[in-house]
Amino acid sequence: MGTATHFLRLVNILKELESTSSRKEKALKLSMFLKELPKDEISPSVMLISGSIFPDGSGQILNISVKTVSKVLSTCKQGTLDSSPLTIKGLYSQLVDLASLNGRGSKARREVALSSLLSRASDVETEYVSKILQGELRIGLADGLILEAISKASSIDLNTIKSTYGLTGNLGETARMALIEGIEKLKNICLKPFSPVRPMLAGTAQNLEEAIRIHGRTSLEHKLDGVRVQIHKEGYRVEIYSRSLSKITQNLPDIVNLVQSEVMADETILDGEVVGVDSEYRPIPFQDLMRRIGRMANVHESISKIPVRLFLFDILYLDGRSVASSTYEVRRQQLECICSKGMLTPRIVTDNIAQAEMFFEDSIRRGHEGVVSKNLSGIYTPGQRGKEWLKIKKADTLDVVIVAADWGSGRRFRWLSNYHLAVRDSHRETYLKVGKTFKGLTDEEFEYMTVRLLTLKVSENDFTVKVRPEIVVEVAYDEVQKSPHYDSGYALRFARIKKIREDKSPREVDTLDRLEEIYEAKFKRKARSTWNQH
C-alpha cells in the first residue's frame, strides 16, 4: 500500500482539464493521472471526476441541498496547518457515509458531518467539494471522455471499454477492472438476470428514405410514447428497471403479473416500453403515464386510474445465455417464440418506401410518434447510440436540458416559467443554449417545475435562476435557425415543451452536432426546392 493520494491532486487535474480545449489532450491528461493512482483509488477517483458518487441504478443519492451546502460553507473554518489533509479515498468514503444519514435529525447530522469534512479542506478543495455536492461537476457529458481516458490508460480498445460500461452502468468499476484486471476480465463480463444494463439507443433519420438507404431491407416498428423498461425474469421472480437502471417493479405490479403468466421462458431479460392507455386502449399523454411511474403514491389505485400496456421489442438473455450478440432478426424470432403477438410491438419488414409510408401513417393514426427502423443484422449494444436503430418521427422534436429559468409575469408571476434550453456539446463537455420557452405546460406543471428547479438552484440574478442541468424536456419547434444570441450559434424557432422527460438523464439530450445536421438538411431541402422550381 502506497501513500494515500491527496484530494488536492485530483483538484489540480480537474483544473487542468477545465483549461484544456482539446478533447484528445484532455483524455491523455486524465489517462496519465489514472495510471499513477494506487489500485484502491481508481474507482473512487473516477466517480468523483464524473461528479456522481453512486452509479446509475444504485438507488442511493447524496440528498444534500444547495441551501445546506451554502449554510455550512458560511459557518465552517477552512483547513489549518495541523489538520490532516483530505485524501481521495477519505473524501469518497465520507460522502458515502453522508448519504447514509437518514431519519429523524438526519439533516442536522449531515450538516455537522459536512462541516467537519470541509474544515479539513483548503479553499480550492472546498470549491470542488462544493461543486460535487451541488452537481456542478455532474454535467452528464463527461462519460465519453472518461471512457476514452480509461481506454488509453489500460491500452484496451474503446469499444470494449464502452461495452463494459454498458453492461455494468458503473464508471468507477469499469475503470478499476480495465486498469487492474485487464481485457480478459472485461471479455468475461456477461449479462445475467437482475443485473440491469444500460439500454441500446436509437439514432435519428430525417425520413423513411434515409432509413431504408442505410439499412436496406429493415424492420419497421411503431415508435411508442411510453416509458422504456428492462424486464428481468428468473422462475417466478420478476424485476423491472427504468432506462436509468432504477428498480420500478413496485410501480408496475400489473406488468409483473402479466410477465409471470404470459412470458414462456424460465430465465430472460427483455427490452420494451410501457404505454399508458385510455378506455379504448389508445395511448394517453406521457405526462399522465409518469404520474403512474414516478409520483403517484397509491399504486393499486393508480392501476385502475392509469392502465398500461406492455410492448416488447427485444430480448437480451434467454434460459442461461446471452443473445445480445445474435442478429436482430434472430432475437425477434426468439422473442416471438416466448411471447404472444399482443405483447410485441407491431412491425413490418420491408425495403419498399410505399409500404413503409403506409405503416408510418398507421402508427400516427394509432396515437404513436412514428416508427423505428432496425437493422436486421444488427447486434444489441448496451448503452450505445448508433445507426443500427433509427427513429423517424412525425413532428420535429429535440431533447434538451433546462440550464436556467426566469420568473414569470402576469398570471405566471409566482412560477419559474420561462425556461432556458440547451443542447450538449459532446466535444467540449458543456451545454450550449438554443433558446427559451414558456409554452406547453399546464399551471400544475409550472408549479411542479418551480419546486424542482429551486432545489437545483446554483445562483439567482434579477429575474433569472441558474440551475444545475438535470431536468430534460422534449420540445417541438418550427425550425432551426442560425443565431448570434445563443452560444450554440443556433436557435429553435417557436419552441414549446411537449413533455418533461423524467425518464431521461442530461447525458441523453441532443447534441450540437445533431442540431447542425438538422440545419444543414433544411438548407439542402430548400436548395433542392429552389432548383426544382427552375
Active site residues: 223
* DSSP bridge partners of 392: 371
Q: Dihedrals φ, ψ of 191, to 5°? A: -65, 145
Q: Closest by alpha carbon to 413, among 365, 450, 461, 369?
A: 450
Burial of 148-162, coded b for 16+ CB within 10 Å and e otherwise, reads bbbbbbbebeeebbb
Q: How far is CA 396 from the centre of its chain?
A: 20
B/e letters for 113-142, b = 16+ CB within 10 Å, e = fewer, are bbeebbebbbeebbebbbbbbbbbbbbbbb
- In whole angstroms, give the CA distance from residue 128 to residue 135: 10
Q: Could you tell me if 371 and 389 are in contact, meaning their C-beta atoms sit under 8 angstroms apart? A: no
Q: List Cβ neighbours of 341 (8 Å cut-off, separation of 6 or more).
A: none
Q: Using the Cα atoms of residue 17, residue 20, residue 26 and residue 28 in order, give the sign of their dihedral.
A: negative
In which region does residue 215 sit, left (phi positive, over 0), alpha (psi from -120 to 50) or beta (all else)? alpha
Residue found under cell 409510408: 357
Q: Alpha-carbon distance 312 to 228, whole Å? A: 10
Characterise 51 by phi-psi region: left (phi > 0), alpha (psi -120 to 50), beta (else): left
Residues forming beta bridges with residue 308, ordered by sequence position: 276
Helix (H, G, I), strand (E, B) or coil at 239: strand
Phi, psi of 420 (to 5 degrees): -85, 120
Burial 420-439, CB ≥16 within 10 A → b, else e: bbbbbbbeebebbbbbbbbe
Q: Which candidate, 101, 69, 89, places its Cα nearest to that of 468?
A: 69
Return d(Cα 123, Cα 458) in angstroms, integer: 19
